[in-house]
Structure 1
Amino acid sequence: MSTEKLDRLVVLGSKGGPAVRPDGPWPSSSLLEIGGRNIVVDCGLGVTRGLVDAGMSLKALDLIFITHLHSDHLLELGPLIHTAWTAGLATPVNVFGPPGTGHYWRRFCQAMEFDIEIRIVDEGRPDIRDLLSVEEFGEGLVLEERGLTVTALRVDHPPVIDCFALRFEHGGRSVVFSADTAFFPPLADFAKGADVLVHEAMLEEGVERLVARTGNGARLKEHLFASHSLAEEAGHIARDAGVKRLVLNHLIPADDPAIGEADWVAAARKSWAGDLTIARDGLVVGLSGQKAASGEETA
């Protein structure tokens, strides 16, 4: 029996927005294991715990990509790297993010300067600031290395200008993350033929209850409809792109007891008839084309 590690996508955090509630899902983060690389996409609150629960050693951190600088995609970037460092990380980690990512990392290191300096001296650790490199990207080719190609597309997420969908390709397989975006037809060409499209999704019927719980009423509601995609719109993108599987993620709302998986499926089925997965924390989607382990979905 082959012991080769299967390529897979693990949804670590499946909710849209930074708020967390008792027994609810965590904000946005994913682990993509493809071509022998461990790739973290977004670092919302809970990403560190999610990676550990997914069975990945934090010392194996490799590549991290940030789609945009909203807190539910960035908040735990520094703590993830710092925690990996205290767990024994001694190999370089490369972070790719939009303009401003380097500023975040420098400020995090300044805030943690006392702890970093004392652990270097007292525990003999390498300097965390020398282990990490940050590369800020725009639209187009982001990375081409060891058979892995990563490209970016600027999407429509006002008022954030630097928000990017990401396409990962290796060995003939491809996974696309929409990032946060309003309905954006050019995304279909960007995702053309992908094995998996991970697309954000919102249900209109849950928005009123969400803004009532969260506050900011009309302003928040206006932002949600201007900056995010309905599940049916995500289905349109998947259909036009001809992807093999659509994964609805970054769910808004993700923790409304009146909304279940069947509601998400019904909304997406208005426009998408293909393979469909509704994200949840810990969900695994196999990418290898081989038989997946129990509880996995394959694409």
Structure 2
Amino acid sequence: MIEVTLLGTGSPIPDARRAGPSTLVRAGEQIFLVDCGRGVLQRAAAVGVGANNLTALLITHLHSDHIADLADVLITRWVSNFDPNLPPLPIIGPPGIAEVVESTLAAMRFDIGYRISHHDDLTAPPQVEIEEVADGVVWGRDGVQIRVGPTDHRPVTPSIGFRVEHGGASVVLAGDTVPCQSLDELAAGAGALVHTVIREDLIEALPMQRLRDICGYHSSVEQAADTAARAGVGILILTHYVPAIQPGQEEDWRALAATVFDRQIEIGDDLHRVQVHPGVGAKPAG
């Protein structure tokens, strides 16, 4: 089984009820954090996961709302772990992630220096292992395999999605994207697809062009559902709602997705959990 927890279902616009985009994936004994929007560690703490419990950090793209709490993840993991042999944190993301991580650590250099000076057991800065990738298998440890495929979030490029497989269960995390063949291929036959969505009908009615612009590089609810249907996935998990879903509106969003996708549809607030079991999904990945 793979367990998916929607840590943050929000957007760049601060929301009192929703943290920034982030998803937690538990596969066997391994815990993967996919993107790290604002408030991610507070949400993770609510399900008993700390920064030092993370197996790896997976980043879909370099928009600010998806990496806003990168410094918090790096520094908190470093200062809250008392294992002298703490391994470096693997960080997997698209080309450019190395520069972002290095710049983040450089920005925190005063804090890092203060802590090293004050604590005898902190002798080096936070340690990371960065892998920049746009396609292919990027992880294969203890029965968990992770594969990456390109998505289409132009002009944000490159952007990637992740497919996590364990024990016959599989989950694809699309990140921000419009429909594209490469995502269809990555998601083919998956047990679940976690997809960011916007309500294009609501956004297009807004008077501000800058807000309407987001329709050009995000999937609508119906488009995400169509991707799930084409790929033959078992469960569609919606997240990163724009505009934010208000209490009582969940069934409106579900109904839109159901016009295209006739299988299980999950919509929830932060901390919503979904279990994905082996065998869920219509066809093998191809």
TM-score of the aligned structures, taking structure 2 as reference length: 0.89
SS of alignment partner, residue 163 of structure 1: strand
Give the alignment partner of residue 5 of structure 2, picking from 4, 10, 21.
10
Q: How far apart in 2 are the matches of 1:205 and 1:127?
A: 54
SS of alignment partner, residue 156 of structure 1: strand
On the 8 A contact 2:2/2:170 being kept in 1, the answer is: no
On the 8 A contact 2:171/2:192 being kept in 1, the answer is: yes
Q: Which residue of 2 aligns with 1:242?
A: 232
Q: Which residue of 1 aligns with 2:162?
A: 166
Q: Which amino acid aligns with 1:207?
A: I
On the 8 A contact 2:75/2:126 being kept in 1, the answer is: no
Q: How far apart in 1 are the matches of 2:189 and 2:57?
A: 24
Q: Which amino acid aligns with 1:24?
A: R
Q: Which amino acid aligns with 2:197?
A: A
On the 8 A contact 2:74/2:126 being kept in 1, the answer is: no
Q: Which residue of 2 aligns with 1:287?
A: 276
Q: Which residue of 1 aligns with 2:36?
A: 43
Task: Provide the identity percentage.
Answer: 32
On the 8 A contact 1:232/1:268 being kept in 2, the answer is: yes
* Residues 234, 151 of structure 1: alpha-carbon distance in 2 compared, 3 angstrom cutoff: same
* Residues 58, 71 of structure 1: alpha-carbon distance in 2 compared, 3 angstrom cutoff: same
SS of alignment partner, residue 43 of structure 1: coil
Q: Which residue of 1 aligns with 2:51?
A: 58
**Aligned residue pair count:** 275
Q: How far apart in 1 are the matches of 2:153 and 2:212?
A: 14
Aligned-pair CA distance for 1:26: 1.6
Q: How far apart in 1 are the matches of 2:252 and 2:197?
A: 12
Q: Which residue of 2 aligns with 1:265?
A: 254
* Residues 89, 272 of structure 1: alpha-carbon distance in 2 compared, 3 angstrom cutoff: farther
Q: Which residue of 2 aligns with 1:26?
A: 19
SS of alignment partner, residue 269 of structure 2: coil
On the 8 A contact 1:199/1:234 being kept in 2, the answer is: yes
Aligned-pair CA distance for 1:126: 3.5
* Residues 166, 95 of structure 1: alpha-carbon distance in 2 compared, 3 angstrom cutoff: same
SS of alignment partner, residue 201 of structure 1: strand
Aligned-pair CA distance for 1:57: 3.1
Q: Which residue of 2 aligns with 1:109?
A: 105
Q: What RMSD, in angstroms, separates the aligned Cα atoms of the two structures?
A: 1.9
Q: Which residue of 2 aligns with 1:95?
A: 91
Q: How far apart in 1 are the matches of 2:124 and 2:5?
A: 27
Q: How far apart in 2 are the matches of 1:202 and 1:128?
A: 43
SS of alignment partner, residue 161 of structure 1: strand
On the 8 A contact 1:44/1:76 being kept in 2, the answer is: yes
Q: How far apart in 1 are the matches of 2:124 and 2:101?
A: 11
Question: Matches of residues 181-196 of structure 1 in structure 2 within 5 Å?
Answer: 181-196=177-192
On the 8 A contact 1:68/1:97 being kept in 2, the answer is: yes
Q: Which amino acid aligns with 1:63?
A: A
Q: Which residue of 1 aligns with 2:267?
A: 278
* Residues 142, 261 of structure 1: alpha-carbon distance in 2 compared, 3 angstrom cutoff: same
* Residues 44, 130 of structure 1: alpha-carbon distance in 2 compared, 3 angstrom cutoff: closer
- Cα deviations across residues 170-228 of structure 1 (Å, max 9, x unaligned)? 1111100111011224422221111111012111232146x55xxxx213312x22101
Q: Which residue of 1 aligns with 2:70?
A: 77
Give the alignment partner of residue 226 of structure 1, picking from 216, 219, 226.
216
On the 8 A contact 1:185/1:237 being kept in 2, the answer is: no
**Runs of 4+ residues deviating >6 angstroms:** none
Aligned-pair CA distance for 1:144: 2.2
- Cα deviations across residues 236-290 of structure 1 (Å, max 9, x unaligned)? 1111111111101111111457x7101111110110110110132010112346x
